[in-house]
Amino acid sequence: AQKVTQAQTEISVVEKEDVTLDCVYETRDTTYYLFWYKQPPSGELVFLIRRNSFDEQNEISGRYSWNFQKSTSSFNFTITASQVVDSAVYFCALKTNAGKSTFGDGTTLTVKP
Amino acid sequence: NAGVTQTPKFQVLKTGQSMTLQCAQDMNHNSMYWYRQDPGMGLRLIYYSASEGTTDKGEVPNGYNVSRLNKREFSLRLESAAPSQTSVYFCAGTVNSNQPQHFGDGTRLSIL
């Protein structure tokens, strides 16, 4: 069985604050893939980043950064200098080599001006 | 490119009615998925098709059936709709397991 836990249900910050969204996963597979998606109020799901289980290199893309730690089964997402447009629901997801996909329950981020 | 197209976008059914949700993609996806999204519950996998000709149960398959008609199309059928199946349904596809999923715009289904 596989599981993705996003313990933070809702987070509220003021614009320009940094915010980290936590993701912890469980799987028995040795090869797996981790993803972050964004769902703005309009409802569509937008892919943000992917990580393979054998690639622990962290990544920065503009104001976004990701910290993958296999030892703690965590794949956390940080937004630096948050903006109102970052307000959305963010989902962490795990996919196995066989293709089965599991999403966390999501973290609702509200960025206030 | 159309991407992943779901039809219909909205539907209201009465308890006991049947319905098929359609999903088609033109992105050469090998794998296709059906999810439901309930408020505060995230996306839960109903069924998926890892490749043409195969289908597998996900986390919440009860009350649903699927058909991978060909590589492009993956339909979801509710044989006897129940109010508990009121949800937003998303179809998604991906080329390979290590690639992200591309999602349709969703079908908002209400069952009275």
pLDDT tens digits for B31-72?
999 999 998 778 999 999 999 989 999 999 999 999 998 999
Least confident of A53-57, A64-68, A100-104: A53-57
Q: Which of A50, A52, A99 sits opposite B31 (nearest CB)?
A: A99
Chain A neighbors of B106, CB-CB under 8 A: 43-44
Q: What residues contact B7, with CB distance under 8 A and at least 6 apart? A: B21, B22, B107
| Contact residues of B toward A, CB < 8 A | 31, 33, 35, 40-45, 48, 50, 56, 58-59, 88, 90, 92, 94, 97-103, 105-106
Antiparallel, parallel or unpaired: β B64-68 and B87-94: unpaired
pLDDT bucket at B21, cuts 50 / 70 / 90: very high
Task: Compute the average pLDDT of residues A30-34.
Answer: 93
pLDDT at A1 over 90: no
A35 contacts chain B (CB < 8 A)? yes
Query: What's the rounded mean pLDDT across residues B16-42?
Result: 93
Confidence of residue B1 (pLDDT cuts 50, 70, 90): low
Confidence band of A60 (pLDDT split at 50, 70, 90): confident
**Strands of chain B, DSSP E:** 4-7, 10-13, 19-25, 31-38, 42-49, 56-57, 64-68, 74-78, 87-94, 102-103, 107-111
Question: Quick check: A105 contacting B, CB < 8 Å?
Answer: yes
Give the minimum alpha-carbon distance from B41 to chain A in angstroms, rounded to a whole number. 5
CB–CB of B48 and A97 under 8 A?
A: no
Is A100 in contact with B98 (Cβ distance < 8 A)? no
CB atoms within 10 A of CB B99: 17
- Angle, alpha carbons A60-A95-B86 (nearest 5°): 110
Q: Tell me the pLDDT of chain A averaged across its residues.
A: 93
CA distance B84 to B63: 10
Contacts of B54 in chain A (CB under 8 A): none
Please check whether residue A50 is in contact with residue A33, taking contact to mean a CB–CB distance below 8 angstroms. Answer: yes
Whether the CB of A101 is below 8 Å from some CB of chain B: the reply is yes
Query: What is the predicted pLDDT for the residue at A80?
Result: 95
In percent, the amount of chain A with pLDDT more than 90 equals 80
